Chain A
Amino acid sequence: MNGFIFGILGPKDFNLNRFKDITSPSLRALGDGFTMESESVFFHTISSHKVPMMASIHGWILLLNTTDPQTLRWPSADLSQSLDPAKTILDTVLRKGIKTLDRLEGHYSIVLYQERTQKLILQSDPLASVCLYIAHDKKNIAFSTLMGPLLKSGVFPKDLDETYIADYLSIYSVATQMKATHTIIDSISLLPPLNRWTFDGDSKHYEQIQRPPLEMIKDPALAMKLFRKTLDLVIRESTLGYEKVGLMLSGGLDSTIVGGLLATHHQDVFSYTQVPRFIPSPLPKAYIPDEESLVKAFIPYHLNIHPVFESSKGYDAYTVLDRYLDFMEGPYKVFENSHWIYSISQRAVKEGCDGLVYASFGNATLSFGSFQSAAAELFWGFHWISLCKELKQRNIKTKQSRLKIMLPILSSALPPHLALLIDPKDKKQLEALTAINPDFYKRMKMNKRFKHSAYDNDQRKILPLRKHQAAMMKDETLSLFGAVNTKMSLSYGIDCQDVTFDRRLMDLVKSFPASAFVHNGVERRMAREGYEDMIPSEISANVKYGVQGIDFIQRLLPHWSEIRFEINIALNHPMIQKYFDIPKLKRALELTTYPDPNDYLNSEVRLLMRTLIFYRYILKWEKYPS
């Protein structure tokens, strides 16, 4: 379970009393915490672990925040046997130097402070999977696992960063465009993966820890063996501290493989499968509506997996909206799934699970995207003979013409203005999901932002697989993914972790040959062929996709008049008027008096809900001291 660290360094006259109540009830539920204060610093840690997360040796202080000390791996010292990992790390750093931290693996953020020189060092893990926010001005430096306490302290300005807002309003996920360090608050930064920031008096020094990429593997058989070994090790290590483990099991390839591996390492695995309460009609042909039957085909393979089919009764995205605000910088889709993720997490807490595992990053590290993305990889990598073979097999299997497969690949490679000429709906469809104040639109040059839209908001754009992976694995995305994981765990009261979100897996899959991605006209080769022994053929042969949160609109309907009422109030708020296109929102309200749940991709409903999320965030933000 995640802990929490907070600290502030400043002039000797600052009032420590204002930091006494920086934590929230959910944080206090973790325990009393530990505080260290002097004339010029205030440090606070809270942890549910039975070992201390603060250590002090020879005037140096170390604060450690980790999901689980057992995830820490270090050639410099055996941390798995340590009763006091914070002290072991500090002792080793003092003996061997700060560079020894370069090779510390696991889920953590670390703060080092020397009292005499007031030197502060902050370090993230290889993925920034335990996030750390930093506020810094001429007088003070502060750090915190959550952004709220930094704002609550009232020491730093709370002005919103308008470039962040512009990204949020244009694509509703800032992961693809913002710098890895940016947050919605101008004065607060986020520590990116593999970074060490040193504040030394007036000077500050940012250091990116360098890790060379793995050599390319030429032999697909060797790639497969290393892939299996690595995934097995990663899953074992990241769940070592759990006695009872929960798993979000969708019936898809990634979560099923993770389930199979968890079942080999744990005596009892509780799998949670979301059952929609409404299936829209008609569904696109590529979608599979009945994920429950896939899970039921898998369960007999592992008798120690205890399946739970959850319908998240009583929850919808509107009722859990305030909890979602804690991690709203993630992709908007998380909001549409928030009701069932929340309901499953509460069920796992009730059943005594120590952690809830999922596999959403598997798209980059485990199953490697769509057939078209793999075909684009072969095409742009000039593996044309292999591509012809794969297209022929694909045609036999799916009756899809080769031209139909290749055309979107070729048009995706065109510059945005040419692509718009071929498919003029492109830009309009993206803009249909937005309602941006025209003045703000012009001032922030939003037109350019739409032209450079990335994978996250334009699902039809076919990127070659390695580019798709690179987009998912860049620091900006990893930083936010880590922040969402950390905050979701703290908000839901259970360690939520994606076991496919692992640097070793990422490094490994980037070194695979192109032939590892697709075989015999079927994509996701490594996952399908590598785990044939562990999962039923219904799942390994399935080429359809589930639709998470398919009943999103149906569930909102009982609250729809309430939602409309709240949005009508929001339209009068000066911040909404400053950033949103009010006439467009009013038209959206007129068109959605009672939305049709069968129209599950309804853009007006999404536009209104996105506005509501922003409005609620502004209300929360206004309460922080100026």
Chain B
Amino acid sequence: MITLNTQFVRIKSLIWTQSEGEVVIMDISTGKYYGLNLVSSDIFLRCANQITVRDLINALMESYTVERSACEKETLDILNVFLKKGIIEITPSL
């Protein structure tokens, strides 16, 4: 389960690309492509290096006009889906 203090990173061996701004991820093990919407794509792109959920939300708050509680909830939802699908992995805190 991901919390605000969780540190994570995008899986390096993922195969993905951008099509009209949206990220498309290829998952060989399930045979599926995942198309992310613009917000999820933005979150995905910000996970290239290790980051904590709190830092990610702070960065998102600077880019989007949204209430903090809503941003936290939606980001945590998206990250939990990413974790379940094997798109990100939790890394030990430094």
Q: Produce 1/0 per residue, B1-42, CB < 8 A to A.
A: 000000000011101111100001010111111000000000
Min distance, Cβ B38 to any Cβ of chain A, angstroms: 16
A103 and B30 CA atoms in complex are apart in Å by: 10
Interface residues of B (CB under 8 A from A): 11-13, 15-19, 24, 26, 28-33, 86, 89
Number of interface residues of A (CB under 8 A): 26
Give how many A-B residue pairs fall within 8 Å (CB-CB): 52
Interchain residue pairs with CB less than 8 A apart (22): A73-B13, A75-B11, A75-B89, A78-B89, A211-B28, A211-B29, A212-B31, A214-B31, A214-B32, A214-B33, A217-B33, A222-B17, A222-B24, A225-B17, A225-B19, A226-B15, A228-B17, A229-B16, A230-B26, A237-B13, A507-B28, A507-B31
Interface residues of A (CB under 8 A from B): 73, 75, 78, 80, 103, 105, 211-215, 217, 219, 221-222, 225-226, 228-230, 233, 237, 503-504, 507-508
Q: Do the beta carbons of A214 and B17 come within 8 Å of each other? A: no
A278 and B34 CA atoms in complex are apart in Å by: 53
Q: Which residues of A contact B29 (CB under 8 A)?
A: 103, 211
Q: Is the interface of B mostly helix, strand, loop or mixed?
A: strand
Q: Which residues of A contact B19 (CB under 8 A)?
A: 219, 221-222, 225
Closest to B33 in A: A215
A215-B32, A233-B13 known; A226 vs B18 contact (CB < 8 Å): no
Min distance, Cβ A219 to any Cβ of chain B, angstroms: 7
A230 and B27 CA atoms in complex are apart in Å by: 12
Min distance, Cβ B25 to any Cβ of chain A, angstroms: 10
**A-B complex: 5 closest residue pairs judged by Cβ atoms:** A212-B31, A225-B17, A73-B13, A214-B31, A230-B15
Q: Which residues of A contact B30 (CB under 8 A)?
A: 212
Closest to B25 in A: A226
Min distance, Cβ A241 to any Cβ of chain B, angstroms: 15
Q: Do the beta carbons of A233 and B28 come within 8 Å of each other? A: no
A454 and B12 CA atoms in complex are apart in Å by: 40
A228 and B16 CA atoms in complex are apart in Å by: 10
Q: Which residues of B contact A221 (CB under 8 A)?
A: 19
Q: Do the beta carbons of A226 and B26 come within 8 Å of each other? A: yes
Q: Which residues of B contact A237 (CB under 8 A)?
A: 13
Q: Do the beta carbons of B17 and A105 come within 8 Å of each other? A: no
Min distance, Cβ B47 to any Cβ of chain A, angstroms: 16
Q: Do the beta carbons of B32 and A229 come within 8 Å of each other? A: no
A133 and B30 CA atoms in complex are apart in Å by: 29
A103 and B29 CA atoms in complex are apart in Å by: 7
Min distance, Cβ B7 to any Cβ of chain A, angstroms: 14
A229 and B14 CA atoms in complex are apart in Å by: 10
